[in-house]
Amino acid sequence: MKSIVSLKWLLARMYEADLVIADCRFQLGKPDAGREAYEESHIPGAVYLDLEKDLSAPVGEHGGRHPLPDIEALVKSLSKAGIGPDTRVVAYDDQGGAMASRLWWLLKYLGHDNAYVLDEGFSAWKREGFPISSEQKVLIPAPFVAEVRPDLVVGMEEVRRKKSEPGVVLIDSREAPRYRGEVEPIDKAAGHIPGAINRFWAEGRRADGTWKNADEQAERFADLPRDAEIIVYCGSGVTATPNVLALEAAGFENVKLYAGSWSDWISYSGNAIAFGDE
């Protein structure tokens, strides 16, 4: 897949001047764990970008648990990390690519296509015996320029309007029990947006933790019309992004993220909730 790079690919290029390696490790419910893990050890030269401090805006009444960050604030964080217009960015995590995919998607949203997700993640890198470090890189800011692509994202009103329209497919990326409303360990209400189908984001990886290739991703979505407008959501707009990446690898060209996702949908009292399979 064009947006996934292997451990050996990164090992061979990790010291190239136009490359920024971004450590995106983060644990829900333990907001300091990712940075603490980074400070203990990381891929040499990597910078740390925090899901909630850098890649999300503060939580409000609406917008979900991880609202899209303010564009100006995000540009500032990316510039501080040394990401400029010609920079190649490789993001990694230890959460199956979910957090790294959030950065990949945000960069794409800002018009920066030269971004990749590291296959397998940090634990696999360490297991292979590849170099690690606790030293923090001296950052040289770069002039990141955003060219926002508003067509890549939708809000609640658009989802409400489009969810039953012909030619629109709504995908819920959460685990099946959460989608069906049998359990809800995080958000205030269980269930899913009416009309949504379920494609668990982690099924984009094989049993050994590596990402499935483009053909395998296409098999996951073989029942979807190629010309459909596909809107992807999850609990808060994070784990939907690996599905966006997978859908694009599978050849779908009109894929959008409902950034606020389920936690935004249920913040509006008038929105319907569905249960079971569809």
What is the set of active-site residues? 234
The whole-angstrom separation of Cα 273 and Cα 171 is 15
The whole-angstrom separation of Cα 203 and Cα 212 is 9
Residue 165, CA distances (Å) to 80, 128, 205 in order? 42, 48, 31
Output the six-digit token pair for 32. 């300091």
For residue 183, count other CB atoms closer than 10 A to its CB. Answer: 10
Secondary structure of residue 42 in the 3-state scheme: strand
Secondary structure of residue 93 in the 3-state scheme: coil
Q: What is the dihedral of CA 235, 260, 206, 32, to 10 degrees?
A: -70
Place of tokens 């995080």: 186
The whole-angstrom separation of Cα 182 and Cα 200 is 15
Secondary structure of residue 162 in the 3-state scheme: helix
The answer to whether the CB of 152 falls within 8 A of the CB of 91 is: no
The whole-angstrom separation of Cα 8 and Cα 10 is 5
Q: What are 232's strand-pairing partners?
A: 171, 257
The answer to whether the CB of 24 falls within 8 A of the CB of 78 is: no
